[in-house]
Structure 1
Amino acid sequence: MNQFNQRNAMDANESAQLQRVLSDYTYALDVLDKYDHQLLEIENTTAENLFVITYETAMLAINGLRDRFGGSALFGNEKDDSFQGSLAAICQTFGGQYLYPSVEEKAAHLLYFVIKNHSFSDGNKRIAAFLFVWFLEKNNLLYGQDGRKRIADNALVAFTLMIAESKPEEKEMMVKVIVHLINSKN
């Protein structure tokens, strides 16, 4: 095979690889494009809430995490009433309608509020990340029909740190990004 034919064969192989990557990540690239153009909207979400998180159930879950993270009295120790406010906010209604009507919106706001309100002496990001995935699991959204996790560990870390580092004026966009990354399209 001459050099020209080898180059064309390599180009065909590279083209096939490029098409595969584009095909596999089309949704993610579309989300980034919509983010760049400030066009993200809440869509493809789950309306039926199977589980409503309460302060009591959340605190039981947090207390269960304490041993996992060394048993420190500071882990999950509430500094004020802001955690109760975070939980109340995700179930808030106006005119008889939920402010955050979908499970995904509630989950994204739960993650955001628990991180940003910094309600605990220690463990805010870990608690927020755990409550986020636990809430999704209780609402049958954490695992796909094939039983695999819909949110990889590295994605959970990235979501959590992205919110922790975000500015307050970016809240709505952060929530929209999270919703897009956990909605039924993913």
Structure 2
Amino acid sequence: MKNNPNTTSLEELLALVLEAEPLYALLKAFDQGTIPLRQGQLPRGEPLTPEETWEIIRQLRAQDGLATFGVPREPGLVESLLLAPFQSAGGQDIYPSVAEKAAALLYLIVKRHPFEDGNKRTGSALFLAFLGKNGLLKKGTSAYRQLQRILVWAVLYVANSPDDDKERVIQLLAHLVGEVTWAAQGEGKA
């Protein structure tokens, strides 16, 4: 075999692989159902109102041009899904942080298909709006750019995930939101 000047040595490959330890730790935590969250950084938050939601959907429909985009399948389902991340049990929020609530909202919109068309796009938009409303995301920031880059993957992952993985998927999404927004806050760019 000829020497390729672009070939990386085994030592360099090992350094590359071993430096990704946080990735392996997160994958292990996912398998074990113990994904860590930055709880102290993420307050409870406020839900999107129906008025905010329907205006966002109206704007998206105007951009999309499809008459069926964002048309609800059944009365009251969208409003119910907006409040679902705020449910509690035994006096404790099921999803205590804004990141968890945002992840649950995205999951529910994508998986429950409350609209005739545009569930993934609408879920993504409401996810971003929810984070923005609750102070974790601002347009033009590093967190906004990072979330945009991973959101397509995240939405497709949610759409194709088994229903019995719901809580693990929500925790993984919440972890990603927490990491991205926490890092941006540390830079003063949340």
**Normalising by the residue count of structure 1, what TM-score does the alignment of the two structures yield?**
0.79
Name which of 142, 147, 165 aligns with 2:141.
Answer: 147
Structure 1 unaligned spans of 5+:
1-9
Residue identity in the other structure for 2:166:
K
Once residues 15 and 135 of structure 2 are traced to their aligned partners in structure 1, the CA distance between those partners, rounded to angstroms, is 33
Q: For 1:84-109, what per-residue CA distance to the aligned partner results, in whole angstroms no more than 9, with x for missing partners?
A: 22112112233443221100110000
Matched residue, 2:38: 44
Residue identity in the other structure for 2:71:
N
Q: For 1:34-67, what per-residue CA distance to the aligned partner results, in whole angstroms no more than 9, with x for missing partners?
A: 223x242352134424543122211111111111
Residue identity in the other structure for 1:73:
A
Matched, 1:125 2:124: no
Matched residue, 2:89: 94
Matched residue, 2:153: 158
Matched residue, 1:73: 67
Once residues 161 and 21 of structure 1 are traced to their aligned partners in structure 2, the CA distance between those partners, rounded to angstroms, is 26
Distance 1:154 1:147, change over 3 A: closer
Structure 2 unaligned spans of 5+:
1-7, 184-190
- Measure how far apart 1:69 and its partner are: 1.1
Distance 1:150 1:93, change over 3 A: farther
Counterpart secondary structure, 1:179: helix
Larger Rg: 1
Residue identity in the other structure for 1:19:
A
Matched residue, 1:29: 24
Once residues 96 and 167 of structure 2 are traced to their aligned partners in structure 1, the CA distance between those partners, rounded to angstroms, is 15
| Kept in 2: contact 1:82–1:119 (CA 8 A) | yes
Matched, 1:114 2:114: no
Residue identity in the other structure for 1:164:
A
Distance 1:99 1:34, change over 3 A: closer
- Measure how far apart 1:21 and its partner are: 5.8
Identity level (%): 34
Residue identity in the other structure for 1:103:
V
Counterpart secondary structure, 1:183: helix
